[in-house]
Amino acid sequence: MICNKNLTILAIVAVLLLTWAIVLSTKDKPTASTSTAPAYLIQGLDPKTIATIVLNSEAGSSTLVRNGHEFTIKEKSDYPADTAAIDALITICLDIHRDEQITDNPDNYADLGITDEAPHTSILFQDAEGKDITGIFIGKTNVDAGGSYVRQTGNNAVYVSRNVSYLRTSADDYLNTTLTAVATDTITKVMIVDGDASYTLRKDENNIVMDLLPEGKQIKSFDVKSVFNALGNLEFTDVSSDVAGLIFSRTYICELQDSTVYTIKIAQKADKTYITCSATFTDINQVTINPKAKDSPEELKAKEILLLANADTQIFTQKHVGWVYELASRQAENLTKTRTDLLEAILEIIETPETAETNQQSGQPHLNSFSI
């Protein structure tokens, strides 16, 4: 009986020692409350609830308004905003940390450049009724702390954040300025329609040639190539739904191997050039893919290319219909060169008996075309 009692006491002591050991081993370990995970300034924002984004800074201001699945730029006649730029803006805002609290006294806001009325930068996210969902005020940079002062709208606390990326606020920042990005090796013909000054450039094997080249003239190779490949990377500098007083008297037509045809109508006013854009698919044969047909992989691939080209032209025209684009001068030059601009006189060489045989053997080019 005494033996059993001693065993019980020893068992109790063993349990107490084990419990104490566990307490000592976990005493200095960090708990969830001391986690080093970053604290974000904005938490819980659902991008789908955003109807309007209002941006302001010294660099410019803009208002982005949701229209279905995309946003438009109010200051640009509600032209569609670049989706990638919108996504980047929201991501940057949601990633801003609140590293150290500086103050929660509004009397200090002016010194920190973070008042409601005049912050250095503000981004406001609003719902469909125009009410603020949330937003960010970004103030001065604190060099010593290595960050910027930030404050969430509707909250008095001001923090230093060390991961504030540059936030774009002007309307131009949210334009995707690329109009066309044509693979130039697929271009087969370019026509300039401009009354009596019209001309045609076409690809002839590895050369670009001008139709009806005047006698005694040759083409300027660099200038011709610039005109022929103008849609390789065509960009605009501004856009509007209407520019009064424009007369589109010149047309640039570019044909591709896959039957895509781009039509650029051109107007000039003062020292500026404006264009409208459209595209058509000219393959008159109906291209269909019949699962029961025994088309070869090559035939299926060729049909797929044509079907995609047809769809792309419809998307392109729908996107650009009703918009007038302003071009930078360097881009406008390639669409507005005249026939005379592309021609030069063939240099006459007076041959002597001594040079005649050499010239005949080596060949003197009559430059009405050039290799590309």
Averaged pLDDT, groups of 10, the chain, 372 residues long: 48 51 46 60 93 96 96 97 96 95 96 94 96 96 92 96 94 97 96 94 92 91 96 97 90 96 96 96 73 72 80 94 96 95 81 60 52 50
Write the CB contacts of 104 (distance below 8 Å, at least 6 apart in sequence).
Answer: 156, 157, 158
Beta-carbon count within 10 A of 334 CB? 19
pTM: 0.79
Sign of CA dihedral 320, 323, 324, 325: negative
Whole-number pLDDT of residue 19: 53
The rounded radius of gyration (Å) of the Cα atoms in the chain is 34
Separation of alpha carbons 238 and 217, rounded Å: 38
CA-wise closest residue to 169 among 142, 133, 135, 141: 135
Instruction: Classify strands 121-126 and 100-103 as parallel, antiparallel or unpaired.
Output: unpaired
pLDDT (0 to 100) of residue 243:
80
The Cα 150–Cα 196 span in angstroms is 63
- Separation of alpha carbons 25 and 205, rounded Å: 81
Both tokens assigned to 208: 């670009």
Q: Which helix (H) or strand (E) holds 222?
A: helix 221-228
Torsion angle (degrees, nearest 10) of CA 127, 166, 234, 269: 80
* pLDDT, position 296: 76
